[in-house]
Structure 1
Amino acid sequence: MTTSTEHETRIDPLWRSWEGAHGGHVAAVALAAVRAQFAGGDQPVRTLTTHFLAPAAAGPLHVSGAVPASGRRTAACVFSGHQDGLPVVVGSALFGSGRPGTSYDGQPAPDVPGPEDCRAVELPGQLAPFARQLEIRPATADLPLAGGERAELLAWVRFTDGRPLDAGAVVTLTDVLPPALYAVWRSSRPVPSAELTVHFTDAVDESAGDGWSLVRIRTDHAGAGWAVDDSAVWAADGRLLALGRQSRVVRGERP
């Protein structure tokens, strides 16, 4: 097992959520540090798993990593991130080069109006300050806190800074929509991420461009103060970029 020295990176204060920094942003920052310092290199990332141990604050994040196995085509890294000496995240990343093989698409992009035909929505600033870095246009009639019948949200999303849709941006996008339970609730409450796993497709190996992405999030099950959310991210041309699944803690309503 190869162990590397600690690498310092930073959590952007603009990506603040209800409880600490936005989980997707923290995972993307960790991924960038792992690739730069420990593993991956030019190989595309295939899977990223991040466990959130405590809310991350804006500022330095000290990331350390170990590479238990590395071959000609794959490399794996186990990492942890600390702030002020306390653990904030732990996780793993798998990198692997591409090769010719069978293609199959079982998750086609939903048939919805384009972003130019959808109205923008602003998430409440006190709930999601990070949303100021995004433009979000719901693609269906399902809206946050509208008391709908199904726990699913589908929207066109783009970064206001025009960043390319690389792996880090895609990780962030898997977590940018409100928790899917918001589609059936009428009042807000914290639903922080406890764990997020993102599986990337070969479309991220190529240039996915920038601009709009279509993002879907839905809750498959909730109970005992926990929820399981599934998300999908498609490029504007319909290519599937990533699938995400996360475990969330469902807090009680705040007065």
Structure 2
Amino acid sequence: MTTTSYDATRIDPAWWSWEGMHGGWVAGAALTAVRGSFAGGAQPVRSLTTHFLTPVGTGPLSFSGTAPATGRRTSTCLFTGHQDGEPVVLGSALFGPSRPGPAYAGLAAPDVPEPDDCLPLELPADLAPFARQLEMRPGTGDLPLAAGPRAELVAWVRFRDDRPLDAAAVTTLTDVLPPALYAHWSTPRPVPTAELTVHFSDALDDGSPYGWSLVRIRCDHAGGGWAVDDSAVWSRDRTLLAAARQARVVRGPTPPQTAAGTVNS
């Protein structure tokens, strides 16, 4: 079993979150780093799991990976990300080509107005600096920190740089909305991601869409200092691109930190 090292990933500080780099962005960066070793990057990714061992800072992020199992139809990569010589993330990615088979679409997109008919939402810059890279338009009346009856948020989202919605970008989108509990709370608190698993649909096999995507995140259970969020990403034509689940740590209210590690006043 051979271990492959990849060129260090440059961290974009614009994707800073509450107390570290945005988890979805880091997971997408890991996928970009390792996928080129599998059939020249031609095989579609089917799933990506990322465990966050500690907040990722703004220094270079180096990845290494191994391929312990390669079958006739799938390839699996195990990867580790290091900063300053210490592991900060680890995970796995599963790759496999398309082939004929039955189709089923059970995860329907929410029935919401088109993005042009929805008002924009600006997330507080001190809580989510990365949100400046995005345009968000809630599709329902559920808003962050509005103390609503349910823990669910739905919004149209697009990248301001109009990047293609490839697998790495879609991974980021599964994590761009505030934690679902924010729809039920009125006071912010850090809810960092400990583990994120993304399952990609075959809609990305033939290319990447652009523009608006519809994103939903919801929490069906929280307790004991933990919460489980389920999210889904659809293209503008309501085609499912990915479904994800993440385990979050629910912490007490604390001031957010900047990318330099200082506390905002």
Deviation of the 1:178 alpha carbon: 0.1
- Separation in 2, partners of 1:58, 1:206: 34
CA 1:39/1:94 → structure 2, altered by over 3 Å: closer, same or farther? Answer: farther
Query: Are 2:35 and 1:35 aligned?
Result: yes
Task: Give the letter for the 2:198 counterpart.
Answer: V
Q: Give CA-to-partner distance per residue, 1:206-225, whole Å, 9 cap, x none.
A: 22410000000001110011
Query: Are 2:110 and 1:89 aligned?
Result: no
Check whether the contact 1:38–1:67 (CA below 8 A) recurs between aligned residues: no
Task: Give the letter for the 1:25 counterpart.
Answer: W
Deviation of the 1:197 alpha carbon: 0.1
- Separation in 2, partners of 1:24, 1:115: 23
Question: What is the match of residue 247 of structure 1?
Answer: 247
Deviation of the 1:53 alpha carbon: 0.4
Task: Give the letter for the 1:132 counterpart.
Answer: R
- Which shifted more, 203-212 or 113-122? 203-212
Could you tell me which runs of 5 or more consecutive residues in structure 2 were left unpaired when the two chains were aligned.
256-265
Task: After the TM superposition, list the runs of 4 or more consecutive aligned residues in structure 1 that deviate by more than 6 angstroms.
Answer: none
CA 1:177/1:66 → structure 2, altered by over 3 Å: closer, same or farther? Answer: same
Q: Give CA-to-partner distance per residue, 1:12-71, whole Å, 9 cap, x none.
A: 111000011000000000000011346772000000000000111123101000000113
- Separation in 2, partners of 1:74, 1:11: 30
Q: Give CA-to-partner distance per residue, 1:94-121, whole Å, 9 cap, x none.
A: 0000001100000111111000000000
Aligned length: 255
SS in 1 for 2:248: strand
- Separation in 1, partners of 2:51, 2:38: 19
Query: Are 2:72 and 1:80 aligned?
Result: no
Within 5 A, what are the aligned runs for 1:5-154? 5-37=5-37, 41-154=41-154
Task: Give the letter for the 2:179 counterpart.
Answer: P
**Aligned residues with identical type, % of pairs:** 69
SS in 1 for 2:203: helix
Instruction: Calculate the aligned-residue CA RMSD, in Å.
Output: 1.2
- Separation in 1, partners of 2:6, 2:111: 45
SS in 2 for 1:9: coil
Question: What is the match of residue 207 of structure 1?
Answer: 207
Normalized per residue, which structure has more strand?
1
SS in 1 for 2:230: strand
Task: Give the letter for the 1:70 counterpart.
Answer: T
TM-score, normalization: structure 1?
0.97
- Separation in 1, partners of 2:202, 2:188: 36
Check whether the contact 1:38–1:65 (CA below 8 A) recurs between aligned residues: no
Check whether the contact 2:6–2:34 (CA below 8 A) recurs between aligned residues: no
Check whether the contact 1:65–1:77 (CA below 8 A) recurs between aligned residues: yes
SS in 2 for 1:163: coil
Question: What is the match of residue 175 of structure 2?
Answer: 175
- Separation in 2, partners of 1:7, 1:47: 23
CA 1:69/1:127 → structure 2, altered by over 3 Å: closer, same or farther? Answer: same
Question: What is the match of residue 260 of structure 2?
Answer: none
TM-score, normalization: structure 2?
0.94
Deviation of the 1:4 alpha carbon: 1.4
SS in 2 for 1:206: coil
Deviation of the 1:5 alpha carbon: 2.9
- Which shifted more, 213-222 or 38-47? 38-47
- Separation in 1, partners of 2:56, 2:22: 8
